[in-house]
Amino acid sequence: MAATGLRWQRLIAAFAWAGLAAGSAVAAPAPCTGTQAVAAVQRSVLLSTGAPAGIGPAQVSVPDQLPLALRSERLRIRYEIDVSACAQVPAAALWIFRAGAPYRVEAGGVPLRLLSANQRAQTGPGAAGEETAEPDSSYNGRIPALFALPAGATRVSIELQTLPYIATGLVQLALGPTHALLPRHTDAVREVVGYADAASGVVLVLGLMALLLWLPRRRDLNLLWLAAACGLWGVRGLIYYDNTVPGRPLVYEQLNAVYALLAAATITAAVLHLLRFSKRFYLSVLAGVTLLALIGFGAAEMAQRGAIVARSVAQIAGTGMVCWLGVAIWRRRQLLARRHAAALLACLAVLLSCVVHDLMVVGGALPPTSNAWVFWGFVAVLVGYALMSGEYVVMTLSRAERSNEELERRVAAKSGELELSYTQLRNTEIASAREAARVQERERLLREMHDGLGAQLMTALRGVERGALSREQLAQSLQDGLDELRLLMDSTDTSAYLPAALAAWRNRWDARLAAAGVVLEWQMDDSLDQVNLGSEAALHVMRILQEATTNVVKHSRAQRMTLRAGVLAGPDGARLLQIEVADDGAGLSGEAAHSGARGLKNMAYRAGQIGARMELLNRPLPASGCLMRLVLPMAD
């Protein structure tokens, strides 16, 4: 008879629990012998000041779908949970899988104690539940939490502290002995948090490495933006995967959207710099959109309303940046290696799908029990871009190493030539030939000094004698003479290794261009590594380049000058050396062409002397300025 009575009691308790889940009146709770889901709770609405909001208490099911009217920073939602079934259990616990906002939990006005996911179950008297938490502790609604129930507690209240970030209040609750809930809680924490701390640490290390790489390479701003994006997202991961909430709950929730917006903006800026979207227009648009979204957060905080609108605007802006970045990569994909462009597009597709998934969870289109994916989407993009940037740095270092090896090889080759020449000096005919070569080289240098340096010095002398030159004009004339002398000295290297000659030119002109307010964009192709010119050809090329640069500084009123050089394949398969000098100045008018006719004729004459073709034309609209193109056939 006793067994039959016990079976009837259990049957009655099961029917009562089913009725509670269906929204009917709650009967006597089931005994607390194992884990049991909390299917219904009582919800009341308060003002943020703690006063009643005029909305009566209501019995709601779990998960609790919140209407839009209740999603406001001016309201607080409080839930009352019946835990009397576990009142007599020595070590009972309440498990909260997720809540829609930071919350506080207490029983009889006493905050509950948070249990660790790896804490062992306690079953004896004086076990879990006797210690209390700090009175002002707020807990992160995103992370599963297990709370010890005080002995004899029959009701627990959970109060959401601010505007929910999803359209759900309480998502999932369970009661039971601590030892029964701990495995479930541990599995849930592992699934939700996973390796977030480790991933955040990796992202922060990548950001530090990018910053260290940027310090000696200040022009590579993509590395600086990458460091900023990694720092933002790494800190965000460390903060938002913790159980407790630091500071004000509303600010905590709004900063989550701010972190995502700034991370999207900085990674977009990094890739735009890599793709040479360096015009101020693109970065100004990016900065303007970001600033407007941040102003929205400030306005909502000051007005104490509109936080959900500010959060939505930031989410839309961040998603728009990701889409814009994908379009930019597709448009400039030819500037990247094919595998790099494909990898970046794939990472962005992963990020965009994660963003869409999380927005659907926030909007209520997906179950609130779904895990957040956007953190891992950003991690994938940051790690992928960091690996690609690291490969570019390695390639640059390898190129420098190859240059050193090439220099050592040339030095060794020169040493061998000198030894051979020393041996061959004993031969009279070879000695005579070398003497003739020296005479010819001496004559060439004298001719070049007479036509170039001599003419510059003579012009300066006559100007001083007549008093026709100002101090600035005299200094410019002497500077031109020094440039001519340096070109002559460079031309004495019979190897005429073009990258080295261009590097020497850049070293001389960098400061002068900067003083004139002209920014130099340096675009050298890898194909130049194998280009060698004769000394005379190299001298003519460098003089043409010097004359073109002088015209940009003196006449164009330009702010930016671009120097591009590379080896192209001609129509008949021949190799062509192409050097372009472009500026964004006033362009080449008829008057300017006449005033600079002498310099332009000298450039054309020198190009003809080495069999090159020179073009000087205005850049097509909407661009401004001039373009000088020099094309020189290369000997096989």
Q: What's the pLDDT tens digit per position in 140-177?
A: 998 999 999 988 888 999 999 888 888 898 999 999 99
Q: What angle do CA 105, 121, 130 make, to 5 degrees?
A: 45
Give the per-residue pLDDT at 597: 62
**Phi first, then psi: what are they for 628, rounded to 5°?**
-110, 125
Per-residue pLDDT of 497-514, as tens digits, reads 778 878 878 887 887 788
Reading the block at residue 210, the tokens are 């990018």
User: Can you give the C-alpha Rg of the chain in angstroms?
Assistant: 38
Give the per-residue pLDDT at 386: 86
Per-residue pLDDT of 429-457, as tens digits, reads 655 655 665 665 566 566 566 555 555 56
Q: Which fold has domain 497-636?
A: Heat Shock Protein 90 (3.30.565)
Give the per-residue pLDDT at 538: 81
pLDDT grade for 480, boundaries at 50, 70 and 90: low
pTM of the model: 0.57
The pLDDT > 70 percentage for the chain reads 77
Give the per-residue pLDDT at 70: 86
pLDDT grade for 14, boundaries at 50, 70 and 90: very low
Lowest mean pLDDT among 171-175, 183-187, 326-330, 513-517: 513-517
Q: What is the mean pLDDT of residues 50-78?
A: 85
Please say if the pLDDT value at position 2 is more than 50.
no
Residue 528 gets which letter from DSSP? G
Give the per-residue pLDDT at 13: 35
34-192: what CATH class?
A: mainly beta
Reading the block at residue 170, the tokens are 């309480």
How far apart CA 97 and CA 109 sit, in angstroms, is 22
561 neighbors 602 (Cβ within 8 angstroms): no
Closest CA to 182 of 152, 137, 145, 131: 145
Please say if the pLDDT value at position 72 is more than 50.
yes
Reading the block at residue 66, the tokens are 């919140």
Please say if the pLDDT value at position 594 is more than 70.
no
Q: What is the mean pLDDT of residues 13-22?
A: 37
Lowest mean pLDDT among 54-58, 124-128, 326-330, 489-493: 124-128
Reading the block at residue 401, the tokens are 């190493």
How far apart CA 328 and CA 272 sit, in angstroms, is 8
Give the per-residue pLDDT at 427: 62
Strand partners, 44: 78
SS3 581: strand
Closest CA to 592 of 551, 621, 543: 551
Q: What is the mean pLDDT of residues 464-472?
A: 65
Beta-carbon contacts of 533 under 8 Å, excluding residues fewer than 6 positions away, are 496, 498, 541
pLDDT grade for 128, boundaries at 50, 70 and 90: very low
pLDDT grade for 423, boundaries at 50, 70 and 90: confident
pLDDT grade for 6, boundaries at 50, 70 and 90: very low
How far apart CA 269 and CA 439 sit, in angstroms, is 59
Reading the block at residue 483, the tokens are 């440039």
Give the per-residue pLDDT at 494: 44
Please say if the pLDDT value at position 335 is more than 60.
yes
Reading the block at residue 336, the tokens are 């990247």
pLDDT grade for 127, boundaries at 50, 70 and 90: very low
Q: How many residues does the chain have?
A: 636
**In the chain, helix, strand, coil percent, each to 5?**
55, 15, 25
Q: What is the mean pLDDT of residues 304-324?
A: 89
Q: Residue 365 is which amino acid?
A: A
Lowest mean pLDDT among 321-330, 345-354, 402-411, 546-555: 402-411
Reading the block at residue 416, the tokens are 């061998």
* Neighbour-count burial for 485-514, b at 16+ CB within 10 Å, e otherwise: eebbebbeeeebbbbbbbebbeeebeeebe
Give the per-residue pLDDT at 484: 66
SS3 519: strand
Give the per-residue pLDDT at 20: 35
How far apart CA 112 and CA 37 sit, in angstroms, is 19
Kindly report the average pLDDT of the chain as a whole number. 79
Name the helix (H) or strand (E) containing 373.
none
How far apart CA 534 and CA 515 sit, in angstroms, is 33
- The angle, 0 to 180 degrees and rounded to 10, between the axes of the packed helices 280-303 and 307-331 is 170
Measure Cα distances from 389 to 32, 227, 230, 521 in Å. 57, 11, 13, 20
Please say if the pLDDT value at position 67 is more than 80.
yes
Reading the block at residue 222, the tokens are 């993509």
Strand 40-47 to strand 75-82: parallel, antiparallel, or no bridges (unpaired)? antiparallel
Give the per-residue pLDDT at 198: 86
Reading the block at residue 219, the tokens are 């022009």
Strand 170-177 to strand 613-618: parallel, antiparallel, or no bridges (unpaired)? unpaired
Cis peptide before 622 (omega within 30 of 0): yes
**Residue holding tokens 């001039």?**
626
Q: What is the mean pLDDT of residues 197-222?
A: 86
Please say if the pLDDT value at position 241 is more than 70.
yes
Q: What is the mean pLDDT of residues 273-291?
A: 82
Beta-carbon contacts of 99 under 8 Å, excluding residues fewer than 6 positions away, are 139, 141, 158, 160, 169, 170, 171
Give the per-residue pLDDT at 580: 92
Report the half-sphere exposure of 86 (CA within 13 A, side-chain side): 30
562 neighbors 580 (Cβ within 8 angstroms): yes
Give the per-residue pLDDT at 483: 66
Give the per-residue pLDDT at 132: 40
